[in-house]
Chains A and B, each alone.
Chain A
Amino acid sequence: MAQGTVTEPGLGTGRDATARAPKPRKYDRREAVAGYLFITPWIIGFLIFTLGTMVYSFFISFSDFNLATNRMRPAGLDNYRALIEDPRVMSSLGNTLFYAVLAVPFEICFALFLAMLLNRVTRGAGLFRTLYYLPKMTPMVATSAIFLILLNGNTGAINTGLRLIGISGPQWLVDPAWVKPSIVLMTLWTVSGTMVIFLAALKNVPRDLYEVASLDGAGPVRKFFTITLPMISGAMFFNIIILTIAAFQVFDQAYLLFWRDQNNVAPEASLFYAVYLFQQAFRNFDFGFASAMAWLLFIILIILSSIQVKLGNRFVYYEGDR
């Protein structure tokens, strides 16, 4: 789907014939000026809030920044050196990585499973889809307020439910080993966005493929791996990239459940990278250090995404070249 997803910019069919002429195109001067005027809001925003802030952030990361006087003093690599020497940077990075490795596969499998279930029913699919989507509409702060109690190790509904089937549940929010699974559980509750993307992809798999496979004697497992999975690999690839990026930036849940109350001692296992970055920036106002952390995250995400794109190009099936 890398090829052919993109429509040639330009409205309608009228220009297709001329648009792809190899010779340099002549532009209507008035039209070009008007075009630039239309995109001016974005250009201004880009120059200030994207390019401007990136350059600014880059310089701050090499500076000792004093918020009170708004002064930047060149500090060379000091912030980056401090970054490496700070054990909490590494542990928060480790926590985040661990969370991402745990969360993304669970989310993908669960969302795909739900989508396949919904795809199988003829009646009531719309109703179930609506019900499954409600958690996604619940503000994260309400979700956290609910799960803070549901996940309570002693009185919480989740452990109470587990006790009914003879399992003694863990101290979800206290035991360092169960902190990340707790957040994964919360994330799974709001998995319906991913599910809807899978569902849309599943609806698009041609039915005759399954019929032909059935004639050839393929069972459901075989059909899943040889038809379904390849046919939805585009959506799969998209979901994995988006969920990975989101997992690396997880903040709201962790902050609300563990770091909201500054008088409370939170387990170190709940210190995620974005939380520590936020604390450095807006609790300690160490802008230099926080900016260095941000750039480290950015570089990690670029490397990860490009690995995923490389792998994606190998595994994603593109239906013809539409």
Chain B
Amino acid sequence: MATIGPSTAPPTQAALATAVDPAVEEGARKMTASPEPSKWTVGRILITLLLVGFAALFLYPLVWLVASSLKPASQVFDNRLIPKTWVWDNYAEVWDQLPLLSWMFNSIAIALIAAAAVAISSSIVAFGFAYFRFPGRNVLFGLVLATLMLPASVTMVPTYLIWKQTGFLGSWVPLFGMNLFGSAFYIFLQRQFYLGLPRELFEAARMDGSSYWQLFTRIAMPLSIPSFIIVFLFEFQAAWNNFQGALIYLNGESVEDFTAPLGIAYAMTKYSPTAGGEGDYQYVMVASLLVTLPMLLLFSFGQRYFIEGVATQGRKG
């Protein structure tokens, strides 16, 4: 970021101020730096105890989930963290009880397409805003940021009508279609990254006869892999968790066509004993765990990117 000098604020500053905080960004980098060790005092022991206590509270529901997924139907609600009766069969049975395999497949496919689409399109647009000088650029970029403030419910109904009129209802397209056109926050993030690249790099390539498109594909893209990964991971998670979208666009389809979140919501109703369901809630627990695992896996590989991404902005939802 060293190449970005101090500068005056363009018209978009008010909008931007709410989108990023340089202190936060700098802090994100410092987070990895380890401060000097100090000796144990009463205060430090108290802090450590508190930290451990909160860790237990945060982990409890997840541990509870793992335990419940291994219990027979009659013991699911007994709150034991170590099952009295271990039923590994739940994990074999669940595939027959619920079309979990096709839900997982649908979710993975949609999340991959959605994440790849938004990461690529946002990069292209962001490079347009970062490198090129053209009339109205600042105004247009201000518009990009302004769209962050628009609540989804305003566009929900017309968007549904657009997909209905174009005949895409019931397909996956409504769940990733808008991602083909870039997404405001990701454009902002990628643009910030490109602004940190020295312009001389691109000027030199221009001298050597590179086209503008080659500047993007040969220089900007390869150098921006880290921020590209942040965008990809964030959107993968968002698409994987997208419940409302699936509820709007896939709820009327056959059960096999559901995504994982919609499927689990369906299973919650099907098996919930309080709603007169069949009471085999352990299958809901198995399915919930299997839907959570890919996210935990993603986090274990990309933790750095998640924390950095959140710290630099504080994503809207």
Q: Which A residues lie at the B interface, using CB under 8 A?
A: 1-16, 20, 25, 27-28, 31-39, 41-46, 48-50, 52-54, 56-57, 60, 70, 114, 117-118, 120-124, 126, 128-135, 137-150, 152, 155-157, 160, 189, 193-194, 196-197, 199-204, 232, 234-235, 237-239, 241-242, 245-246, 248-249, 251-252, 255-256, 260-261, 263-264, 274, 277-278, 281-282, 287, 290-291, 293-295, 297-298, 301-302, 305, 309, 319, 322
Contacts and interface: CB of A to CB of B under 8 A. Distances in A.
Nearest to A203: B27
A277 B77 contact: no
Interface string B22-34: 1111111011101
Contacts of B106: none
Contact of B182 (A15, A45, A238): A45
B17 A121 contact: no
Nearest to B135: A27
Interface residues of B, number: 139
B153 A132 contact: no
Contact of A122 (B35, B125, B128, B156): B35
B154 A11 contact: no
A117 B51 contact: yes
Given A132-B55, A201-B24, 5 more contacts: A46-B147, A118-B51, A132-B58, A156-B77, A203-B31
A41 B144 CA distance: 12
Contacts of A290: 156-157
Contact of A234 (B21, B298, B306): B21
A148 B274 CA distance: 10
Nearest to B24: A200
A302 B76 CA distance: 45
Interface in B3-40: 3-10, 12-14, 16-18, 20-28, 30-32, 34-38
Interface pairs A-B: 4 shortest CB-CB: A45-B181, A38-B128, A35-B132, A200-B27
B295 to A, nearest CB: 4
Contacts of A232: 23
Contact of B275 (A152, A155, A263): A263
Given A13-B199, A129-B307, A140-B241, A199 B157 contact: no
B62 A249 contact: no
A45 B180 contact: yes
Interface in B183-232: 187, 191-192, 194-195, 197-203, 212, 216
Contacts of B150: 50, 54, 298
Contact of B12 (A6, A194, A200, A297): A6
Contacts of A36: 128, 134
A39 to B, nearest CB: 4
Interface stretch (B83-91, B94-102, B261-269): B261-269
A204 B23 contact: yes
Which secondary structure dominates chain A's binding surface? helix
A235 B24 contact: yes
Contacts of B315: 193
B155 interface: yes
Interface string B123-138: 0110111111111011
A320 to B, nearest CB: 10
Contacts of A189: 58, 61
A38 B34 contact: no
B244 A12 contact: no
9 contacts: A15-B199, A124-B48, A134-B59, A135-B62, A235-B23, A238-B24, A246-B316, A255-B243, A278-B248
A199 B27 contact: yes
B299 interface: yes
B7 A41 contact: no
A197 B13 contact: no
A42 B38 CA distance: 52
Which secondary structure dominates chain B's binding surface? helix
B16 A249 contact: no
B125 A139 contact: no
Contacts of B25: 200
Given A132-B54, A256-B243, A31 B132 contact: yes
A38 B132 contact: yes
Nearest to A302: B149
B288 A145 contact: yes
Nearest to B9: A6
Contact of A11 (B27, B32, B34, B202): B202
A196 to B, nearest CB: 5
A144 B262 CA distance: 12
Contacts of B167: none
- Which among A10, A14, A31 has the highest number of chain B CB atoms within 10 Å? A10
Contacts of B48: 121, 124
B70 to A, nearest CB: 15
B119 interface: no
B13 A200 contact: no
A60 B158 contact: yes
A201 B264 contact: no
A147 B244 CA distance: 19
Contact of B133 (A1, A35, A122, A196): A35
Nearest to B309: A196
A233 to B, nearest CB: 10
Nearest to B180: A41
Contacts of B134: 27, 31-33, 35-36
